[in-house]
Chain A
């Protein structure tokens, strides 16, 4: 039983620090604010939840017994993260001169995610029409 709890703790720790790292990596790597806000608000929250659950499990056998107090922080973070993300998005929107462009409605023909998907779709449609005219 102790071994099973230790293994579960290990798994939760590895998953937790992976997701925390992923959130911060998204913060550094992605290009615009509305891309960046997805990483920390979702991945990091999940990662911290995993680490707090690992802490509960670890304390239940190596500490003073099962006290699920850390879950209080988890619940609080899971409740507040969407509110904080919404407020930060509102703040970023209020600093822009105009509303950002609507996301692409058509799938990009080659299946890659890219910023100029709409232009490429229009260009491909034009080429197809020209091809039909020729034929």
Chain B
């Protein structure tokens, strides 16, 4: 059962990696600035999933803090970038 679980975690990492590549394609391609912000948002959400899956595979506790920091800084980055597109200024 543990062997099967490890295989499924590995397969999930491959699928989430594909999702990250697709978000990266939109980040490079995206016609407008909000598209690129949206792609960055998707990319950090998928990165949280990937880091948590890696933590499950290696059975360590270290990756939890990394995922938490990515979640907080990713949201902050999305808000600041949207604010910049909205007002052309970050600190009003």
Contact = CB atoms under 8 A, between A and B. Distances in A.
Interface residues on A, range: 35 or more
B19 A21 contact: yes
Interface of B: 1-2, 4-5, 8-9, 11-12, 15-16, 18-20, 22-23, 25-26, 32-35, 37-39, 41-42, 45-46, 48-49, 52-53, 55-56, 59, 61, 64, 67-68, 71-72, 75, 78-79, 81-83, 85-86
Contact of A24 (B20, B34, B83): B20
B54 to A, nearest CB: 10
A37 B38 contact: yes
The interface residues of chain A, by DSSP majority, are classed as helix
Interface string A84-120: 1001111110110000000000000000000000000
Given A6-B5, A14-B12, A83-B79, 10 more contacts: A17-B12, A17-B49, A24-B23, A27-B38, A36-B26, A40-B41, A51-B53, A77-B48, A84-B82, A92-B34
